[in-house]
């Protein structure tokens, strides 16, 4: 039997984007895209890189489908999914100093 919340089943979605911001209309589209990501539970990892924790591949696919609906007409957007196991192997640095990762979000289960 597979563990209910296996580190190989839990997924992380990364959305990378580089959108034009030269005109007022482009800045508005950039802000709208960013706000939609935040409303859908994404958090900023770095400038123009947002991530979201998902309990399963199926759940991740739902959020990826939403992001694809919001794609702006200009600019570049990349979507990447990785397992929780892969995410846990990431090393973070601030300058030359190794940084400990923040604790992952706690998964709640409702019956």
SS (H, E, C) 27-80: HHHHHHHHHHHHHCCCEEEECCEEEEEECCHHHHHHHHHHHHHHCCCCCEEEEE
User: Which of 11-20, 68-77, 88-97 comes out lowest in average pLDDT?
Assistant: 88-97
Q: Which sequence spans correspond to the domains of the chain?
A: 11-99
pLDDT tens digits for range 14-57: 999 999 999 999 999 999 999 999 999 999 999 999 999 999 99
Task: Please tell me which residue, 109 or 24, carries the higher pLDDT value.
Answer: 24
Question: Could you tell me which CATH class the domain 11-99 is placed in?
Answer: alpha beta
Q: What is residue 70's predicted lDDT score, i.e. its pLDDT?
A: 97
């Amino acid at each position: 039997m597979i563990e209910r919340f296996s580190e190989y089943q839990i997924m992380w979605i990364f959305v990378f984007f580089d959108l034009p911001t030269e005109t007022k209309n482009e800045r508005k589209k950039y802000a709208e895209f960013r706000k939609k990501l935040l409303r859908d539970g994404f958090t900023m990892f770095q400038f123009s890189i947002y991530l979201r924790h998902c309990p399963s591949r199926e759940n991740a696919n739902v959020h990826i489908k939403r992001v694809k609906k919001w794609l702006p007409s200009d600019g570049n957007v990349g979507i990447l999914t990785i397992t929780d196991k892969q995410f846990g192997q990431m090393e973070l640095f601030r300058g030359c100093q190794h940084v400990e990762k923040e604790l992952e979000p706690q998964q709640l289960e409702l019956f």
